[in-house]
Amino acid sequence: MVLPPDQDPKFRGYARPEMLVSTQWLADHLGEPGLVVAESDEDVLLYETGHIPGAVKLDWHTELNDPVSRDYVDGVGFARLMSAKGIGRDTTLVIYGDKNNWWAAYALWVCTLFGHPDVRLLDGGRTKWLAEGRPISTERAVTAESDYPVIERDDAPIRAFRDQVLAHIGMPLIDVRSPGEYTGELLHMPDYPQEGALRGGHVPGAVNIPWARAAADDATFRPREELEAIYRDEAGLAPGDDIVVYCRIGERSSHTWFVLHHLLGFPNVRNYDGSWTEWGNSVGVPIRRGAAP
Amino acid sequence: MTAPTARNPRLGEIAGEFAAVPDSERLTLLLEYSDELPDLPERYAGQHDQLERVVECQTPLFLAVEVGSDQVVHLFFDAPREAPTTRGFAAVLHAALDGLTAAEVLATPPEFVTQLGLADLVSPLRLRGLAAMLARIKHQVSEQAPR
C-alpha cells in the first residue's frame, strides 16, 4: 500500500475499510506519486466528456476482455494494459465509474484475478464527484509507461465456472438481476435489448437480491448495518458461507461480490461471470421459473 | 439494384469519415457528433408521450419522425448528455438522414450501422441499439409517407 488508507469513520464499519476511498480523500491525494486513478463506465464515451483530472480510462469491453474468446485477458495482456496506463505492481489504483460504480467494481474484480495488491473503489463514484462540484477535465491523461510484471491470472478464489455452479446448487447462490429476469419473465434487463439467452429463469436455489440495493441514493455503498439487513437477514447468508453470485455477464454481480467479500467480510465469494448468458443457453442444466428460489 | 450509397451520398461520406480515423479516435469522432445533436424543438420538449421510445438502447432515447407533404423527412431525438454513446448514434443518424426524402430514407441499408467501424469499440448490445434506431425510423417513415 503506497498511499495511506482513508480514515473516514463510515468505512470503519466495513470488514476491509482500506478497499474504499472517499471523494475528499481522493481530492486530497490527487496527483501524488504512487497513485493512479482509473475511470470505468458503462457508457464508453463518458470519460471523454470529462473525468477526474489525471484519471486514465479503463474500458471494460475493449481492454479487459480477450478480443476473440469469451474470457479475460491473460497475464501478458494484463501486464501490457497496466503498463500502458502507467500502473505499476506497487501502484495504489483507485477505480471509479458511472451507475453506482457498476463497471468500476467489475474492473476491480478483474484486477483481483491478477492479485493487484492495492486496488480501491471511490465510494459514490462519478456521480458523487460530480454532485459535489469537484473539478473535471476533458484532457486525456498522459502517463509515463510503467513496467508491470506478467502475473498469471488466478481464477480459482473468486471466479466460478458453469460446472462449479452446477455442483454448488444447494449452497448459497445470489442472483443479482432484476426481479423480471429472475422469474424468467424477461430475458434481459428491463429497457435493455435481448441478449440472446434461450431460456429464462434462475439457477435453482438462488436468492434474488438486485445489485443496486447495496447502493444509496448518492451512489455510495450503504452502511454496514443496512447491508447486513439485506444480505444476512433477508438473503439468509451466514458467516463462513461459500457463496456464488451471478447476473447476465458477470458485471452487476461483481458489485455484489465486492459488497459481500470486502464490505461484509465473507471469505469465500465467487463471481460466475458466464452468468445467465451462459446458463440460459446451456443444454441440460436445471432452471427454475417464478419468484421462489 | 442501385448501390444504396449512390442514393444517399451522405451515408458513404459519414462511413468514410469514420473509416479515415484510427480506432483510438473513432470514439472521439462519435463524441463530436453527439455534441452536434440538435435540441428538441419547443413543440416536443417535455412531451415524451408524443415521441417513440427506442427500448433497444441502453439509456432512454426518444425519437420523433415527421414526413412533410413534400415527402421530406425530419428527425428529432431526445437523448441525455450523460449517455454520450447513445446521443452520438442519434446524431449520426440525424446527420445521415434528416432532410432526405422518404424514399431515400427507406433505401438506407441496415449495413450502414456496421460500416461505421465501431464494432470493436462498443459492445454488441450498443450496436443493436443503433440498428434498432434505424429500423424504427424507417418503420415510422413507411407508416407516414403517402404513397
Domain span at B104: 3-144
Contacts of B81 in chain A (CB under 8 A): 49
Q: Determine the pLDDT at residue A271.
A: 98
Q: How far apart are the first and last CA of chain B?
A: 21
DSSP per-residue letters across chain B? ---HHHH-HHHHHHHHHHHHS-HHHHHHHHHHHHHTPPPPPTTTTT-GGGSEE-TTSSS--EEEEEE-TT-BEEEEEE--TT-HHHHHHHHHHHHHHTTSBHHHHHT--GGGGGGGS-TTTS-HHHHHHHHHHHHHHHHHHHHHS--
Count contacts between A and B (CB, < 8 Å). Answer: 51
Q: Is A76 helix (H, G, I), strand (E, B) or coil?
A: helix
Chain B positions touching chain A (beta carbons under 8 Å): 27-28, 30-31, 34, 55-60, 81-86, 88, 120-123, 125-126, 128-129, 132
* Residues A288, A280: Cα–Cα separation, whole Å: 11
Centroid of chain to Cα A142? 26
B31 vs A49, A67, A192: nearest CB: A49
Q: Determine the pLDDT at residue B57.
A: 64
Q: What is the pLDDT of residues A3-52, one digit of tens each?
A: 999 999 999 999 999 999 999 999 999 999 999 999 999 888 899 999 99
Q: How confident is the model at residue B61 (pLDDT cuts 50, 70, 90)?
A: confident
Active site residue A247: yes
Average pLDDT, chain B: 86
Q: Determine the pLDDT at residue A136.
A: 96
**Which is more confidently placed, A138 or B129?**
A138
Domain containing residue B104: CATH number = 3.90.1010.10
Q: What is the pLDDT of residues B80-121, one digit of tens each?
A: 888 898 899 999 999 999 999 999 999 999 888 888 888 878
Amino acid at B147: R
- In a 13 Å sphere around the CA of B139, the CA atoms on its Cβ side amount to 10
Across the interface, whether the CB atoms of B84 and A62 are under 8 A apart is answered no
Residues A120 and A93: beta-carbon distance below 8 Å: yes
- Could you give the number of structural domains in chain B? 1
**Entry pTM:** 0.87
